A = this chain, B = another copy of it.
């Protein structure tokens, strides 16, 4: 038995998930370029103040979008951890 309402919801979730994946792929392309650029330009790899600004901004955007700011901060930290792992992989 297929529930048609559930099926429609799931199609929307699948569309959004595809968009999230491609968006993330683009984000990692840019952070890899940042990593290369910092290495070539002798800029420090980490920038804690930038990270704090990103988190504050995303928490505010999350509130506007009715999304839990704490979850959003966890989400950004989850992605940033992966970026750091990539950068370590580039160095290793």
Contacts and interface: CB of A to CB of B under 8 A. Distances in A.
Interface of A: 3, 5-6, 9-10, 12-14, 16-31, 33-34, 37-38, 41, 43, 50, 54, 57-58, 61-62, 65-67, 71-72, 75-76, 78, 82
A23 B16 contact: yes
Nearest to A37: B5
A24 B67 contact: yes
A61 B22 contact: yes
A66 B26 CA distance: 9
Nearest to A20: B23
Nearest to A57: B14
A82 to B, nearest CB: 6
